[in-house]
Structure formats: C-alpha cells, structure tokens
A and B are shown apart, each in its own frame.
Chain A
C-alpha cells in the first residue's frame, strides 16, 4: 500500500507595506479629509511656534558677553545669553569661593564618571561599592579641602550643580538598598517587622518632602542635646533619603508581587535559604519588572532636590534665583530658568534613555 507523505508548503515572504515617507504620510496624516485638515493646521501651528522660539533663542538673541543695557536695547528683542555668560559661575557653583571653583567642577566630574562607570552591566560586581566609596570620598576631599594647600570650604558655601548632584546621587545610592529592605520587611512573615516597615512607609509617604526637610532642619535640633550640631546639608540629605526610600519601597513591593509563587517554591525546593533566594531569584526578577517606575522615582527625586532651597541650601535653582536677584539683570530671568531647565532636562533625559536601554538589555535574555 502506498504511504502518502505530507509535503509542507514552502514559506512565502510577507506582503510589503507601502514604502517611503510619502507612503507613510498618506497612511498616517492624510488618510481622510478631516485628518488632512487637522494635519495641515497642526503642522502650521508647530512650524509657527517652532520658528518663533528659534528666532527668540537663536537668531535674534544677543550671544556676546555684553552689558545688560545692550540686551535691553536689542531691536530684535531676542534672548539675552549675555546674562548666562555673566552669571554662569554663580548659577553652577553658588557661593563657593570664586577662585576655588575648579574644585567643585572636578568633584562634579568625579561623580559623573562614577555614574558613567556604573552604567555598564559588566561592572556590576561587589567592588563597585568600593568604587563608589572612593568617588564619594574624592568628592568630599575636593569640596571640603583643608589639606594639600586647599582652603577649607564649609558645606554652607557649597552650592549649584554639585550640590544638586550630590544630594541626588547619595539619595539614590543610599535609598535604593534601604527601600529593598523596607519592601522585604513589609512582606515579611514576622508581624513586628511588618508593622515597623508599614508604619515607616505610610508615615513618610504621607507627608510632603518640604515638611520632612523642615522637620529635619528645625525640629530635629530641638530634640538633640544642646551643643550637638548636625550639618545642615546632612540633615537635608537624610530627609531626602528617607522620603525616596519610602516611595521606592512601594515600587519594589509591586515588583515582588509580580513574581509567581512557583519561583519562591522552586528556590526553596532546591535548598536556597531566604536571603539566597531573594538575592539570586526573586529580587533580580522583581527589580527588572519595575525598572520604569524606579527610574520615574529617581527622576522625581532629582528634581525634588530643588526643595532644599527652603532650608537655605543653595542648590541649582536657588543659585539661579540669586543670580536673577541682581537688579541689573533682573529682566532676564527667563534666560536663567531656561538655562537650568536644560541642565535638569539633560540629566532626566539621560536617566530615561538609560532605563529604556537597560530594559532592552535585560529582556534580551529571558523571554518567557
């Protein structure tokens, strides 16, 4: 009897989409009369606004480092970047002694180098902690000085971008592990542990960061024995770490909840203890699942550091306001704010892009 073997059909290529920019526009912008009308109107508005902004910021702007009067008499009424040229040292470094400002500049690069170094996954080893201790030590050494012929600079003179960066970086580096412990504690089977963590998270999350900063700065000293002084920068830093950790703990708890029970059981069944299974099985997956909201929290915290202005720390924003306070240049506050907005944006955009990069990199391996 003849055996009938099934012969599979050969694979064929998928039909081509209408190619090119024109094809894309026809499908997406001009696919109906109403959409065509909306597209034309929107393109006109975008083009007009774009031109006005570019004209103000670039073509009609005063770029040379000139006196404020020159800007005010500019017939084209463009931006006055002379303000930035005049004040950028005050904006970037606050009241740090003018002749010593190479030190905060260098300190800032140390921090940025440490961040850049930490971005590479190949360096995520135990010694990265040592690198960070070294970087933070070097930062403090440069900023404080007092040795090797460098004059001593008190933290109340620190300011501008280095201050914003150190508050954020230490905030992230310390709050992150702290928040993991809080999240694990909140899911713990030990009732006392759980109660402590829940109370902490709900209490800290329930008050505005401003009030925490106030409390840390003005109320904490009331409870401390007289004569015992706590550095103002440190107090603000502690408030930021506490606040960020409470928020982050809930984000990480969300990640922990996304891990199926089977993963915990499999980890137990092969003999891993609690900390081992958390470290090797649960946390790597949980944190990966919540990278976007983690970075969201970091970005929010980076911008929230500007609230330290209310406890008299001269961060990037307060330094800018001090620059604007100069009566000669007061008219050009918009330029000042745009300048620091760009600085904030560069850092936030970097964090956002990096998180996307990290997600793709981590996902590439484990497709479920």
Chain B
C-alpha cells in the first residue's frame, strides 16, 4: 500500500467576485513528486498553488496538505504554512533586514530556535544556494538572481516538506535565470516535493515527474514530461506548446 498523497485537492472551486478562476480542480501529489504547472496567463495556475498555503481562500471543495485540512482555523493554516515553503515571482524579501536576518526570522520567531542555532542553519542554506558571502548585505544590494536564491534559502530554513514556486524566474534578467534554476534542480535532486509554476520548459523536461497544463481555470492535461511534450493529448495544449516553443 502506497503512502497517502501529501497534497490532495478534491473538486476545488474558487471565484474572484463573479470570475470563476478555479473549476473543479482535482489533484493529488505524492511525496517527492515534482510537478510543473504551465498555461496561459489568467489560467489560474498561480491561484492554484496559492490556495495550497492559503494565501488565497477556496470557496468549494477540499484541500488536505500532509493530513491537515485547510479550513478557516488559524492554527491549522499556521501549521500548514510551517510545512510549505513558497518562492514568489518578485522575491518579496524583507528590505529592512539583512540577508541573514531574512533567513533567521521565521526559525527564531515561529520555530523558537535559539539565535545562534538559527544563524548556523541560515548559513548552511546560504552555502547551499552558493551565496554565503552575501549574508550581511541588504536585499537591495543584491542582483535579482541572488535575491531569488536568498528567497529560496529563506523558505528552506523552515525545513518544509513541500516547496511552492510561483514563476520564480519570470522577473529575472536572462543571464540570471540559470543560477536560480540550478538551485531548483539541485533541490529536486534532494527529494523535495515541488510544485512549480513556470514557463521554463527545459526545466520541466529535466526535473518534473508530471507536467500540468491549465487553461481557463481547469486542468486540461496532466502527463509525464516526455509524453507531454511529444504527444500532447489536447489540441489546446498543442497550440500552447507551439506558441511558447517556436520563437
């Protein structure tokens, strides 16, 4: 008997006002799975992963993360957020804190680690994303690629079981995309469960177990990358792929 899925969405629906942004989403993610979600803008892919750590509230259906169901109970939401790390398109580092303080904040205040222990942990993760020399600087003094690597390290400092990436390379200059993707590839190799909204199809090909294509709030297609890219089932997927791959 296999382990129960670490993320489970059943018949999830969400509206922004009258706009139906997520339609009957069913999704199960097993532990250690790496899923890339792509689709045109406005298709609901960011909203989908933001529902998983309750940055957005769903109105119908059921979301269970690591055995905890997402409800309005603040305690449960906080418990889930301790297990789910998130990386944003615009980094969202705290500009008034140094890199090291950005990393140690949650371990000290949420996990109540002693300061020294939190700093050792933070330095270990800065080493892992290969910028330990930037620890004392402020985010505004770093390049976009460095900031995004700090953001990944900040999420990892909470020792999450799941990592959510919301278009992590979309705001970066072309020369900096690779350094961020390298960190994500390394992370995938360590067995982390990852959900990644991205249009980096090379990354999807090498790292993902499954690629999901979304359009107009629905999951149109879900398949392993080799199948997804060579034999897409839906016409809509074919059109999307032809548009993002042929330029």
The interface of chain A, by Cβ under 8 A from chain B, is 260, 262-263, 265-273, 276, 280-281, 284-285, 288, 362, 365-368
Contacts of A285 in B (CB 8 A): 94-96
Contact (A288, B96) CB under 8 Å given A269-B53, A271-B81: yes
Q: Which residue of A lies closest to B55 (CB)?
A: A265
* Closest beta carbon of chain A to B81's beta carbon, Å: 4
Q: Are B109 and A280 in contact (CB under 8 A)?
A: yes
Q: Which of A267, A272, A368 interacts with B95 by CB under 8 Å?
A: A368
Q: Are B94 and A266 in contact (CB under 8 A)?
A: yes
Q: Are B94 and A263 in contact (CB under 8 A)?
A: yes
Contact (A270, B154) CB under 8 Å given A280-B105, A280-B109, A367-B141: yes
Q: Are B106 and A272 in contact (CB under 8 A)?
A: yes
Q: Are A272 and B92 in contact (CB under 8 A)?
A: no
Contact with A along B160-186 (1 / 0, CB 8 A): 000000000000000000000000000
Known pairs A270-B85, A272-B106; list 13 more (Cβ under 8 Å): A265-B92, A266-B92, A269-B53, A269-B85, A270-B110, A270-B158, A271-B81, A272-B105, A276-B109, A276-B110, A284-B96, A366-B140, A367-B138
Contact (A367, B78) CB under 8 Å given A269-B53, A270-B155: no
Contact (A365, B53) CB under 8 Å given A268-B81, A276-B109: no
Pull 13 A–B residue pairs with CB atoms less than 8 Å apart, ordered by A.
A262-B88, A263-B92, A266-B88, A267-B94, A268-B53, A269-B53, A270-B106, A270-B110, A272-B110, A280-B105, A365-B96, A366-B95, A367-B140
Q: Are A262 and B140 in contact (CB under 8 A)?
A: no
Q: Is B34 an interface residue (CB 8 A)?
A: no
Contacts of A280 in B (CB 8 A): 105, 109
* Closest beta carbon of chain A to B99's beta carbon, Å: 11
Contacts of A270 in B (CB 8 A): 81, 85, 105-106, 110, 154-155, 158
Give the top 7 A-B pairs by smallest Cβ distance, nearest first. A266-B92, A262-B92, A270-B106, A367-B140, A269-B86, A271-B110, A366-B95
Q: Which of B53, B78, B138, B154 interacts with A366 by CB under 8 Å?
A: B138
Q: Is B82 an interface residue (CB 8 A)?
A: yes
Docked CA distance A362–B82 (Å): 31
Interface centre among B78, B85, B94, by most chain A C-beta atoms within 10 angstroms, is: B94
Contacts of A365 in B (CB 8 A): 96, 98, 138
Contact (A269, B81) CB under 8 Å given A262-B90, A366-B95: yes
Q: Are A273 and B78 in contact (CB under 8 A)?
A: yes
Docked CA distance A260–B96 (Å): 13
Q: Are A266 and B93 in contact (CB under 8 A)?
A: yes
Contacts of A366 in B (CB 8 A): 95-97, 138-140
Docked CA distance A141–B247 (Å): 80
Q: Which residue of A lies closest to B151 (CB)?
A: A266
Q: Which residue of A lies closest to B89 (CB)?
A: A262
Q: Which of B94, B97, B106, B139 interacts with A271 by CB under 8 Å?
A: B106
Contacts of A284 in B (CB 8 A): 96
* Closest beta carbon of chain A to B102's beta carbon, Å: 9
* Closest beta carbon of chain A to B158's beta carbon, Å: 6
Q: Which residue of B lies closest to A274 (CB)?
A: B74
Contacts of B109 in A (CB 8 A): 272, 276, 280
Q: Which residue of B lies closest to A270 (CB)?
A: B106
Docked CA distance A263–B151 (Å): 12
Contacts of A269 in B (CB 8 A): 53, 55, 81, 84-86, 88, 155
Contacts of A271 in B (CB 8 A): 78, 81-82, 106, 110, 158
Contacts of B84 in A (CB 8 A): 269
Q: Which residue of B lies closest to A269 (CB)?
A: B86
Contacts of A288 in B (CB 8 A): 96
Q: Which residue of B lies closest to A284 (CB)?
A: B96
* Closest beta carbon of chain A to B204's beta carbon, Å: 23
Q: Are A281 and B55 in contact (CB under 8 A)?
A: no
* Closest beta carbon of chain B to A100's beta carbon, Å: 48
Q: Which residue of A lies closest to B137 (CB)?
A: A365
Docked CA distance A265–B139 (Å): 17
* Closest beta carbon of chain B to A262's beta carbon, Å: 4
Q: Which residue of A lies closest to B95 (CB)?
A: A366
Docked CA distance A72–B86 (Å): 80
* Closest beta carbon of chain B to A307's beta carbon, Å: 37
Docked CA distance A280–B154 (Å): 15
Contacts of B158 in A (CB 8 A): 270-271
Q: Which residue of B lies closest to A364 (CB)?
A: B138
Docked CA distance A285–B106 (Å): 18
Interface centre among A272, A284, A288, by most chain B C-beta atoms within 10 angstroms, is: A272
Q: Which residue of B lies closest to A276 (CB)?
A: B109
